[in-house]
Structure 1
């Protein structure tokens, strides 16, 4: 009797790397951690959910991580995460477009292939001087 094919669970290596990035920020760069978030644009979704999210503003190609702190003359940092080789994937044309558009708007943008590259990027970014801006009243004043 033939055995059915064994289904192996797909390992989301990019997600594993990204969790390490947030843990590193939490421990080493607390201020970055408190101002960072993940933009959940990827993943497999039911078609109805995907349509709803698109109507709510989800857009393909938006970088994975945003650090909303101004440093080094930039307004913030956007990072497109990829898993380390040999599990990494190419940066899509939509992702490249977003990175270019954000760089043109005054943001620091990087592609990091794994946790080690991210550590170097966030260490460098957090070492830059705070970008000075004019004072604006709070949104709810």
Structure 2
């Protein structure tokens, strides 16, 4: 019986300290948000189809350069929002939500993300950036509770949601 060849140990970093694992604060908060929405829909506090119409855009993360080239050819674009709610409400055609982690772990909004938000806003969608999961929950609840869109002008964001930034 042949045993597989033993792997060489990874070289130590320059300081010879073990590498620290990167913690994905934004990804964890996005998971919390999606689970919260699922729970609201199951309990009946929000319409059940809201959870079914929400989807994530797996745009981030590090990939091998060859895979990145293939994904770009397939239509992946820089700056696209993290979550999309394909539910017309309040005069908007849908919601594009860019979620940033709660401070102090939040990242800056990239130029590509600002341009994407402005582009979808110009096309009749609501493109916003929410800082932290609590802000995102308030925004989602407000958006879902708006009347279904039927040609009326868009509803402006209320004052209590002004920390969510329109681009």
Tell me the TM-score normalized by structure 1. 0.89
Instruction: Name the structure 1 match of 2:143.
Output: 125
Q: Supply the RMSD in Å over aligned alpha carbons.
A: 1.2
Q: Does 1:14 align with 2:26?
A: yes
**Distance in 2 between residues matched to 1:52 and 1:45, nearest whole Å:** 11
Q: Does 1:94 align with 2:94?
A: no
Where in structure 1 are there 5+ consecutive unaligned residues?
134-141
Runs of 4+ in 1 over 4 A off after TM superposition: none
Instruction: Name the structure 2 match of 1:139.
Output: none
| Number of residue pairs the alignment of both structures matches | 131
Displacement of 1:132 in angstroms is 2.1
Instruction: Name the structure 2 match of 1:49.
Output: 67
Instruction: Name the structure 2 match of 1:137.
Output: none
Displacement of 1:31 in angstroms is 2.0
Q: Deviations over 1:47-101 (max 9, x none)?
A: 1110000000000001110000000000000001111100101100110000001
**Distance in 2 between residues matched to 1:32 and 1:15, nearest whole Å:** 20
**Larger Rg: 1 or 2?**
2
Q: Report 1:40-79 matches (<5 A).
A: 40-79=58-97
**Distance in 2 between residues matched to 1:110 and 1:27, nearest whole Å:** 23
Displacement of 1:103 in angstroms is 0.4
Displacement of 1:7 in angstroms is 1.5
Instruction: Name the structure 1 match of 2:134.
Output: 116
**Distance in 2 between residues matched to 1:31 and 1:108, nearest whole Å:** 19
